[in-house]
């Protein structure tokens, strides 16, 4: 079945460590997105990529980095520069053109101790 | 900057009753799409309904319908015959054509369904 796979589902890290969240899709979608979700804040866009080897900053990119070397993959690195990294992270994708709706993964919960 | 505002942080409804969730958005774009997503306790985001801005007719999906008022930039969601499984966070979102194509979300409304 086609879909978006995020891993790991839960992740614990010590303060000051970088951590990478994986996002893989087999929907043949061109665009991929990373959102951060905090209680009462809705979903805020971190980074997005509309094509391989290209990506743009979203509204809260500071302290995060991404790469898009393959169409299927869009990993997110939470660096030690991110001041408050504990959050729920959602990856999404969509096809350029078409219905514009985003398809989401199941999310990754990062807790920094 | 495009913004989406959901003014009701929490709502409740009795089972089998009707509830309306509010959403307003702000854009200068002429071509855009509006969505309602549901996030149950599992936290999986599920598309509830979609509206294309150029269409005047309000979208409907079974018990879910929208009231799209383009001039007022309003996009409310009506849930009829509410069921216990409708309890979730509901997010309004807008997707703008041209320039950066991305989905902008409101802060969400938590819906409780009382038996």
| Residue B68 banded pLDDT, cuts 50, 70, 90 | very high
pLDDT (tens digit, 9 = 90+) per residue, B69-108? 999 999 999 999 999 999 999 999 998 766 567 889 999 9
Looking at residue B29, what is its pLDDT?
A: 80
Q: What average pLDDT is seen over chain A?
A: 93
Encode pLDDT of B8-62 as tens digits.
999 999 999 999 999 999 988 878 899 999 999 999 999 999 999 988 899 999 9
Quick check: A103 pLDDT over 90? yes
So what's the pLDDT on residue B100? 65
Cα distance from A16 to chain B (closest Cα, Å)? 27
CA A52, A57, A59, A64 torsion-angle sign = positive
What is the average pLDDT across A9-31? 94
SS3 sequence of A7-68:
ECCEEEECCCCCEEEEEEECCCCCEEEEEEEECCCEEEEEEEEEECCEEEECCCCCCEEECC
Q: What is the pLDDT of residue B27?
A: 83
Distance CA B114, CA B8 (A): 18
Q: Is B86 exposed, middle or buried (0-12, 13-18, 19+ CB in 10 A)?
A: buried
Count of residues making up chain B: 115
CB contact under 8 A, B101 and A50: yes
pLDDT value, residue B98: 62
Residue A97 has pLDDT above 80, yes or no: no
Among B9, B46, B52, B103, most A C-beta atoms within 10 A, so best to mutate, is: B103
Radius of gyration of the CA atoms of chain A, in A: 13
Pick from A45, A90, A100: CB nearest B45: A90
At residue A104, does pLDDT exceed 70? yes
| Cβ within 8 Å, pair A43-B105 | yes
- Angstrom distance (rounded) from CA B87 to CA B114: 9
Contacts of A91 in chain B (CB under 8 A): none
């Amino acid at each position: 079945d086609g879909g978006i796979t995020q891993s790991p589902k839960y992740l614990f890290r010590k303060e000051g460590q970088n951590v990478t969240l994986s996002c893989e899709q087999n929907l043949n979608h061109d665009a991929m997105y990373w959102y951060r979700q905090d209680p009462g804040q809705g979903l805020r866009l971190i980074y997005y990529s509309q094509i391989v080897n290209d990506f743009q900053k979203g509204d809260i990119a500071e302290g995060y980095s991404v790469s898009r070397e393959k169409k299927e993959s869009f990993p997110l690195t939470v660096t030690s520069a991110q001041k408050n990294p504990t959050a729920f992270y959602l990856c999404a994708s969509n096809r350029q053109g078409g219905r514009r709706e985003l398809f989401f993964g199941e999310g990754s919960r990062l807790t920094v101790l | 900057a495009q913004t989406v505002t959901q003014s009701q942080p929490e709502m409740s409804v009795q089972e089998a009753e009707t509830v309306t969730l509010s959403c307003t958005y702000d854009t200068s774009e002429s071509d855009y799409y509006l969505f309602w997503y549901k996030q149950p306790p599992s936290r999986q985001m599920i598309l509830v309904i979609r509206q294309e801005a150029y269409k005047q007719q309000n979208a409907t999906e079974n018990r879910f319908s929208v009231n799209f008022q383009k001039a007022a930039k309003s996009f409310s969601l009506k849930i009829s015959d509410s069921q216990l499984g409708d309890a979730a966070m509901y997010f309004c979102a807008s997707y703008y054509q041209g320039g950066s194509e991305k989905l902008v979300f409101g802060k969400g409304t938590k819906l409780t369904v009382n038996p």
